[in-house]
Chain A
Amino acid sequence: MTNIIEIKGLSKTYFTKKALNNVSLAIEKGKVVGILGPNGSGKTTLIKILTGILRPTKGEVYIDGNKPGVITKSIVSYLPDRNFLYDWMKIQDAINFFKDFYQDFDENKAYGLLEFMKLDRDMKINSLSKGMKEKLNLTLVLSRNAKVYILDEPIAGVDPVARDQILDAIINNYNEESTMLITTHLVRDMENIFDEVVFLKEGEVYLQGNAEVLREERNMKIDDLYKEIFGE
């Protein structure tokens, strides 16, 4: 298997606080990888470096052989942990926007997902609830046929119904040729979709491995393992 993402000795420091400390990871093509850890463990920092909106203090990152930049941005589909769409837009504007900028954007898939999420394309973005915005953002991100999907806390802060819809959308639209990185601290809801898991603790990789193997070795669910690691 070839590695689509390679991270070598990555560190990020904010003033005196180390958000990431000497992280090295290799992520294979075609895997769904859970980046797990509590708030402040460095998950979002890692994701932001991969998407090219944060600069590492030390270390190297390669996505499909390229450093984060214009090329990697064209193959990475990123769902941030906030509403990133321009507030003047209607849903249709957002679809047009993605169609204009991403060659891998599938408009028909987007309309199908909108219907699944029960969103109307004439709705204004600033009138949507938090759950609806999350569903719209995910619709746009999953409608790209990208090599790498990076989803930062996709189910945080949404109601259980929206949470199920979002999980269904991720499972149904995942393409085996692609790689998906998902950060979350809501492990119980998501653990079944992970092939691999990486536990981040205080900016360092505490444990990583195949989800199934870890379950068998430790004789516990990933969620219980998470509680064991971070519940100390």
Chain B
Amino acid sequence: MGKYMKYELKGSYKFIFGIIAVLLIASTIIQYNIYMVSNRPHNMAEATGFRAFTMLISILVIFGAFLATFIHIVGLFRKELYEDRGYLTFTLPLSGNKILGAKILVGAIWYVAIAISAVLYNFLLATILFGTSWLNNVKGFLAMFEPGAVSSAFISSTIVSLESTFLTLVIIYLSIALSKVSVKNKKIGGLWFVIFLVLSGLLNYLTLKISEAFPYYLSFNNFKILHYYDIAPFGTIFGGISQVTAYGTHIMGYINIIGNLSQILFIVLGFLATSYLIENKVDL
């Protein structure tokens, strides 16, 4: 699987580096404009006109770059089923699990690489433009909360984000494989997306219902298991698979135990189903 991942990374790194370059340029334009406006707060012309236009364009470019990355990652798998390269990939002595596992990991690696590059670059650029004062402001803000509170919120959201990333990728690849086999391997444009929407909606609904049926949450503040009523005694907070609650400076991060386990189960089942389809059902 490692060897296959190596070639997947090699085949897509130029595109991803291009996306990162576009993101960094757009971030630079946005931050530079913020810097110029903040330096001349009384000059309204700075905040409007061409400067506002370039900021808007940059925000759209960032959105477009993420969309292009999504389409590229979908294409990594779709091309194997609908283009001639599948004749090489699917005649390699590799199981469906390994091919699919490599595709999903490479997709996840690129998403993480883009996110980390954008965050680190923006931190660095902010330090260059605004000095270290912004960092002190952030530190001061975080110091208002209890020790461990922010990290517990961070851990719970990271776990749920990772699950969501992998589940999305698995559902996308399962939908593409299902659309390929469902109509006797004929290509019907957009069918995979319809399957993707239906499957995503169904699994999200199931997760929500499971989380409601088993309302036990793991707290990352003190690693205790709490009932929903312990977290939200007035029943005002939405249930679901994770929560970050805040009462003034008191923050707690939780995940619904059974809800999250069911997400992991969906990832595994989706992975095995896709792998089975590409190994036993897909016709090239």
Contacts and interface: CB of A to CB of B under 8 A. Distances in A.
B266 interface: no
B93 A53 contact: no
A130 interface: no
Contacts of B236: none
A51 B89 CA distance: 12
B86 interface: yes
Contacts of B120: none
B87 A53 contact: yes
Contacts of A74: 93
B242 to A, nearest CB: 39
Contact of B95 (A70, A80, A97): A70
A73 to B, nearest CB: 4
Interface stretch (B3-11, B27-35, B160-168, B225-233): B3-11
A85 B88 contact: yes
A83 B10 contact: no
B87 A70 contact: no
A86 B7 contact: yes
Contacts of A15: 184
Interface string B66-105: 0000000000000000001111101111110000000000
Interface residues of B, number: 23
Contact of A101 (B3, B11, B14, B86): B3
Given A14-B184, A73-B93, A82 B3 contact: no
A101 B90 contact: no
A71 interface: yes
A85 B91 CA distance: 12
Nearest to B79: A86
A88 B11 contact: yes
A89 B281 CA distance: 29
Contact of A82 (B10, B87, B93, B94): B87
A48 interface: yes
B84 A53 contact: no
Contacts, number: 62
A89 B8 CA distance: 11
Residue of A48, A87, A101 with most chain B CB atoms under a 10 A cut-off: A101
A159 interface: no
A88 B76 CA distance: 13
A216 interface: no
Contact of B283 (A55, A83, A101): A55
A55 B281 contact: yes
B87 A52 contact: no
A228 interface: no
A83 B280 CA distance: 24
Contact of B87 (A80, A87, A100): A80
Contacts of B279: 69
B276 to A, nearest CB: 12
A14 B88 CA distance: 23
A52 B95 contact: no
B95 A86 contact: no
B94 A53 contact: no
B56 interface: no
B284 interface: yes
Contacts of A101: 3, 92-94
Contacts of B95: 70
A102 interface: yes
Interface in A181-212: none
A78 interface: yes
B85 A53 contact: no
Contacts of A87: 85
A156 interface: no
Closest 10 CB pairs of A and B: A74-B93, A84-B87, A84-B88, A53-B284, A73-B93, A80-B87, A82-B84, A100-B3, A88-B11, A54-B283
Interface of B: 3, 6-7, 10-11, 14, 84-88, 90-95, 184, 279-281, 283-284
23 contacts: A48-B284, A51-B91, A53-B91, A53-B283, A54-B284, A55-B281, A70-B95, A76-B91, A82-B84, A83-B84, A84-B87, A84-B88, A85-B88, A86-B7, A86-B11, A86-B88, A88-B10, A88-B14, A89-B11, A93-B10, A100-B7, A101-B94, A102-B93
Interface of A: 14-15, 48, 51-55, 69-71, 73-74, 76, 78, 80, 82-89, 93, 97, 100-102
Given A55-B281, A82-B84, A85-B88, 13 more contacts: A48-B284, A53-B283, A70-B93, A70-B95, A73-B93, A73-B94, A78-B91, A83-B84, A84-B84, A84-B88, A86-B11, A86-B88, A101-B92
